[in-house]
A and B are shown apart, each in its own frame.
Chain A
């Protein structure tokens, strides 16, 4: 990660389209009056979904809508690496290179991406179709290594599966989110090695005898206490 700043070349203007305006208004309405600045992250997200990246006019427009200083919006936009501050390709491929993914071979995944897409980290392909970026820990360590394409996580990838996947994307096919090895969510890969058999249900117990014994002891104690002292 390096210093994040708004791209040099910026479009002249930005306005939310009708659909996103409605969505944003719904989000703003969730917060108490005067606290609309809380909607800044969803607002930036909507702007990014509309334009593909967060533009300077978008930052200023959001600041205006939410009644914030533009620098406050910029602070948020530069803080989160999920906000793209410069244009990205139509398909934005992000590889998680944080510790767990790296231990499980994210270097190979990065290599596959670079080879297949012909671009380096943080670059956009000449035709504008692909861009490649590093992803800070995606929080899916159990399925490491992880690729993020759009909103989807593609999990348990390696060199071969990444290459296959990118070829499919290049052909314009869509890819399925989730584990490429066919594993069920985050369930263990392969056979179950613990808790193999069905657990026995709890046994029904009869407390009548115990209760009777307790009542008897209680009555005896009461009788003893009540008896006149010898």
Chain B
């Protein structure tokens, strides 16, 4: 391990560390533009020049490996002078438009110009101007501001796996562009905005909306997919202006998917801001008391077997436990949180978790994906698989439709029964899994929502058992969820109790009249036509499918408007904080159920969120361990049976619209038009 001295601090670092990394390890910050921890080293901005003794010239610290006995000065006069020179060159062509630039206030160039910039330049020619490029509905470009750090190019090529960005021309005429100025077709495209150190790439939906210093920052958890991406909600007044990722090495590193980032404008449209009661076939606004009275009049005293509850995809655990307790009090065991009807077994935790953890993907050397499209269902998780793939030595096979997951894969065919062949060892991929040190299976909702989902789960388990997917210190059996609320619901046992009906049973019962009351807690992804003549209570935040069918609408809070606990697909319990208040009369969801229980005369035993969370931890101790993943015990599960031949129906057909928030979002509608319906009019060149 080389020893070196940085600004008088002796430091010993592993070989192949760069000077910049070594400096960071001892808290010495070196300015940089092109260098980024998670991207390859380009070394083209020259801002990180440092003075190394016995070196004739200043050295680019981001690209220079440490050497034994190096003496580095990061703040010497020569280093500062070199950086000042670099800064002057960068500012030659950078426009002086900070007052109208969205990046101002959080701009690396602005910040570093404060430290190294000189108040006048020695270049008296004209500044260059670059035509702006179209990069899709979420990335706004002002290319004159670009300083050619190529972070965006490297991100698109390496992390996102869509090599569409590049630098054309050379010298002063170098321009960053997408191929023929098409939209950047990636679910992670919004991240180039975060990476851009200047205002060349900014967020299109957020353009000219707010300044960073006006925003109130709240730490939260994303609910658009089951990854549980850590986010920061930036709000001004009563509106969430933007969503940014927070660094969490175990979950999202520092990436955020486009839907999670840009669907928030959907929180402004189609909102339920007061209770509604259906009168003469029409929903009419009402007060909370009237809405509760309507429910009591219908439900009180009813046989519990005629009541059912379905929890939706983005519901917090607090609301689910409150509803579960209320349903128990009403004598109903018709509960389900699996509104897609997935054959998930709530009794064995290991059977519904992403057991290897997301960070564990980086250790895997063979992955079998069954009925999942991680690129659409969990883009950030897919980026992790690609990261592992780029390191080499990873074999990926897919049972399912041909799909571009941004890494090389072997398609074993769309027929689900292939899984049974791998389980009995007759398929060649079984040998690959057996030979692998850390094999992994990812079972998706497309597989588990089939009518023979339980058999597929059992087959996946026998693959895991027979091919060494589960061994000492490694559990590679993974279920990839699509809903943020799902694992929380399963952990709470929001599933049919003894003799209770599951989602399919509830809908069939509602159609036949056996079920008379259905309580939809943010459940919109069910076939509402099957609710028949049942009395439907919808509690949620958007006037979407569920609310349209409802007889009573109770306005709840979206994830940005409540303190909520969510369990991600790994089983990681995470908490989001409230960034803004819910609109109008809408309330936090567990408080609504608590208030309703009082009207039933079966008051739930909690009055504040701390008590609800104590109840959560009582029901399932994992809820006590926030931000932790508890390894789940590997037990028997699944019902073996025949797997019918045939393919999968993927749950996420249009990535940009999967839940009420994204369906109400304008930005997501534009993305749908651009990427799903195929091309917008803004595409130039020879398109079409």
Contact = CB atoms under 8 A, between A and B. Distances in A.
A107 to B, nearest CB: 21
B165 A79 contact: no
A1 B175 CA distance: 14
Contact of B179 (A1, A69, A79): A69
Contact of B173 (A2, A10, A56, A74): A2
Contacts of B685: 6
A5 B168 contact: yes
B411 interface: no
A122 to B, nearest CB: 14
Interface string B246-276: 0000000000000000000000000000000
Interface string B574-610: 0000000000000000000000000000000000000
Contacts of A3: 130-131, 169, 173, 175
Contact of B686 (A1, A2, A10, A74): A10
Interface residues of B, number: 20
A72 B169 contact: no
A56 B687 CA distance: 12
B205 interface: no
Interface string B164-176: 1111111101010
B164 A75 contact: no
Given A69-B163, A69-B164, A74 B170 contact: no
Nearest to B170: A79
A213 B170 CA distance: 69
A74 B168 CA distance: 7
B163 A72 contact: yes
Interface residues of A, number: 16
Interface string B154-189: 000100000111111111010101111000000000
Contacts of B170: 78-79
Nearest to A5: B168
Contacts of B179: 69-71, 74
Nearest to A57: B686
Contacts of A5: 168
B686 A56 contact: yes
Contacts of B168: 4-5, 74-75, 78-79
Nearest to B175: A3
Nearest to B172: A1
Contacts of B166: 69, 71-72, 74-75
B686 A4 contact: no
Contacts of A10: 686
Contact of B163 (A6, A56, A71): A71
A10 B687 CA distance: 12
B463 to A, nearest CB: 31
Contacts of B171: 1
A89 B168 CA distance: 25
Interface in A54-90: 56, 69-72, 74-75, 78-79
Contacts of B177: 71
Interface in B440-485: none
A33 to B, nearest CB: 15
From A6, A10, A71, residue with most partner B Cβ within 10 Å: A71
30 contacts: A1-B171, A2-B173, A3-B130, A3-B169, A3-B173, A3-B175, A4-B168, A4-B169, A4-B173, A5-B168, A6-B180, A6-B685, A56-B180, A56-B686, A69-B166, A69-B179, A70-B179, A71-B163, A71-B166, A71-B177, A71-B178, A72-B163, A74-B166, A74-B168, A75-B167, A75-B168, A78-B168, A78-B169, A78-B170, A79-B170
Given A3-B169, A69-B166, A72-B166, 17 more contacts: A1-B171, A2-B173, A3-B131, A3-B175, A56-B686, A69-B163, A70-B179, A71-B164, A71-B165, A71-B166, A71-B179, A72-B163, A74-B168, A75-B166, A78-B169, A78-B170, A79-B168
